[in-house]
Amino acid sequence: MLPVSSFSNSSTRRQLAEMKHTLSLARIARDDVRAAHAASVQRLESARAGLATILRRGELARGIDDDETVAVAARFAAAQRSTIEVLERKVDVQHDELLLTERTVADMELELRSVTGIGPMPAATPGDAAAGSDPTVDASDYRVLDHAARAQSADERLAELKRRMGRA
């Protein structure tokens, strides 16, 4: 691996800067997804607490034979259950999205480390994926490629990321 100081040509330095910029944008997106997921979890907990309150009030009204309040509580409880169902699906989808963004950021960080040689490079053996010790490591892991192949792969992935972001 080459240290950053060995990246002498301006094109390579520009590509490295673009990789770093893209990684920073991915980290921001990951943090946004993480915050949205946390807010949705909090909203779901609040909705569940609200349903418990509605049900408790309905039971209290039933205890004093207040049929009108019991009917109102039943309508509110039905609406609150619908809200909870939607929020549960939302939290599940956001959780999946968070896992995806975290995996994407980790892959991008690993690729940047493999290109620059900066940062710790965990040891990987081709048998790791087969043994099931790390589900994120597979036979195409960039750490097992030689430097030239890593550089070519980094160029290709950077071009793909730029295409996805509408920069190319």
DSSP 83: H
Average pLDDT of every residue of the chain: 77
User: What is the pLDDT averaged over residues 123-135?
Assistant: 43
pLDDT bucket at 82, cuts 50 / 70 / 90? very high
Q: Which long-range contacts (CB under 8 A, 24 or more apart) does 85-94 make?
A: 87/40, 87/43, 87/44, 87/47, 88/44, 90/40, 90/44, 91/37, 91/40, 91/41, 91/44, 94/33, 94/36, 94/37, 94/40
pLDDT tens-place string over residues 6-59: 455 777 778 888 888 888 888 998 999 999 999 999 999 999 999 999 898 898
- What's residue 87's pLDDT? 94
- What's residue 50's pLDDT? 92
User: What is the pLDDT averaged over residues 132-157?
Assistant: 55
Q: Is the pLDDT of residue 147 over 70?
A: no
Domain boundaries, the chain: 4-162
- What's residue 109's pLDDT? 87
pLDDT bucket at 163, cuts 50 / 70 / 90? confident
